[in-house]
Amino acid sequence: MNYAQAACQALAEAMRADARVVALGEDVGTGGVFGQYRGLQQEFGAARVIDTPISEATIMGAAVGMALTGLRPVVEMRVVDFALCAIDEIVNQAAKNRYMFGGQGRVPLVARLPIGIWSGSAAQHSQSLEAWFAHIPGLVVVAPATPQDNYSLLTAAIACGDPVVYMEHKELWGMQGEVAAPSSAALGQARVARAGSDMTLVTWSRMLHTALAAAEQAAQQGLSVEVIDLRTIWPWDRELVLESAARTRRLLVAHESVQAAGFGAEIAATAAEELGIPVKRVGGARIPVGYARALEDAARISAPQLLQEIKLFANGADRRRSMA
């Protein structure tokens, strides 16, 4: 099945198993923009798959209230860019409630905030803001890269007792893959997507597929790159990353989001502090994503570009890119 269908199946199974699970957001009753809610309102009714007004703050505020009174809402924000209209409800209400009230309240909601460059959609629909939410105590941050993980990780996110910022990629919805169900993945657990010995490359979301393509090309040129799919941005799997980096003695982090202050910096700094090994980051330029194809391409990182960075790093070259 595809990435969207996998998430839809995970949500349907959770709703069948637990009457407290509800979904709310714009157009969820008609199946959602990407088909990730297709057929759910027909099965569960409009009281559990709830179409809302176009007001992100209202949607998220209602979901926080639902969660505090015992429901387990799955909140649709359409794209992460729109979720900025609900930032107070996510950051100051959902994330902090458990701490500020001594555990008397819990906010077991899943906020679906799709990230990434969305072809032809320009600067206000193409952001990757996972580092923003990783910075907030109280939030779990998840970024699935495959149909299997979109099924397994959404299942785990719905079962989590804390607020989960769930960041699907806007250009992965149609991606096909095998999905084993029922299954759940442990939040905070990365996976080795490709074994290697010369370098560890850590990535997540759509960049995983770029990284795998670059690693395959590197292998044809005699470089063995281990690719780790982080899967969960927070908590992130320090143990697996550090074990791999200690073995390969080089760590490269690649992400689609802007390199400046991206989450890759946290991973690179940790490896440098703990292991004292060479580290390198590859991320997007600090520019808005343009509407014109040429401008959009300038914001993307391609497999050939990533391969070039891999080769330079493997050869010990120190090339610093100037980010405006």
Which amino acids are annotated catalytic? 56, 125
Name the nearest CA neighbour of 289 among 281, 279, 299.
299
Is residue 26 within 8 A of residue 82, CB to CB? The reply is: no
Amino acid at 226: E
Exposure of 309 in the CB half-sphere (CA atoms within 13 A)? 25
Number of residues assigned to the chain? 324
Is residue 251 within 8 A of residue 278, CB to CB? The reply is: yes
Phi, psi of 185 (to 5 degrees): -110, 150
Residue whose tokens read 């149609």: 174
Structure tokens at 276: 């004292």
Amino acid at 185: A
Residues ≥6 apart with Cβ < 8 Å to 70? 20
Distance of CA 59 to the CA centre of its chain: 21
Residues ≥6 apart with Cβ < 8 Å to 93? 61, 64, 107
Strand extents, DSSP E, 46-174: 49-51, 72-76, 110-112, 140-142, 164-166
Cα angle 18, 22, 24 (rounded to 5 degrees) comes to: 170
